[in-house]
Amino acid sequence: MSAKRLSPDDPREWLNRARSNLALAKARVAGVYLEDLCFSAQQAAEKAVKAVLIHLGVRFPYTHDLAELLTLVERAGLAVPDGLRRASILSDYAVESRYPGLAEPVTEREYKEAVDIAKEVVRWAEGIMEGRGKA
């Protein structure tokens, strides 16, 4: 069952896409590389941060650089929890790990860390959108 689609300028649609990417990242299927699952984790975090930026009325570049996107959140006046800054390590999964030979294979530990970070970013974004965070 798929969710009702919202307008692309609606932050809830971006958060829905973040949740979808997170579900993909957690789906362990035989034959799927951990690198591909980590890419989905990165996409979940990226889309969650972009949902927050839309919620704040901030235009953002189409970049995979989570450090840059989180800096934009802070410049808009919203504090980014210190632990969330570690999401920047996911940016490496946006490009290099998707292609053969550009990066070392992802380990089980790295995969689990990527999913944990993505979950944390999505939860943070949900809190902002639901008014639990300070915007």
Domain harbouring 46, CATH code: 1.20.120.330
3-class secondary structure, 38:
helix
Integer CA distances (angstroms), 79 to 8, 42, 71, 131, in order: 25, 21, 10, 14
- Give the separation between CA 44 and CA 86, rounded to whole angstroms: 14
pLDDT at 9: 86
Is 50 among the domain residues? Answer: yes
Is 104 among the domain residues? Answer: yes
Is 2 among the domain residues? Answer: no
Is 67 among the domain residues? Answer: yes
Domain limits for position 35: 11-129
Is 62 among the domain residues? Answer: yes
Is 1 among the domain residues? Answer: no
> Which regions of the chain are under pLDDT 70?
1-3, 97-99, 101, 132-135
Is 72 among the domain residues? Answer: yes
The total domain count for the chain is: 1
pLDDT at 1: 43
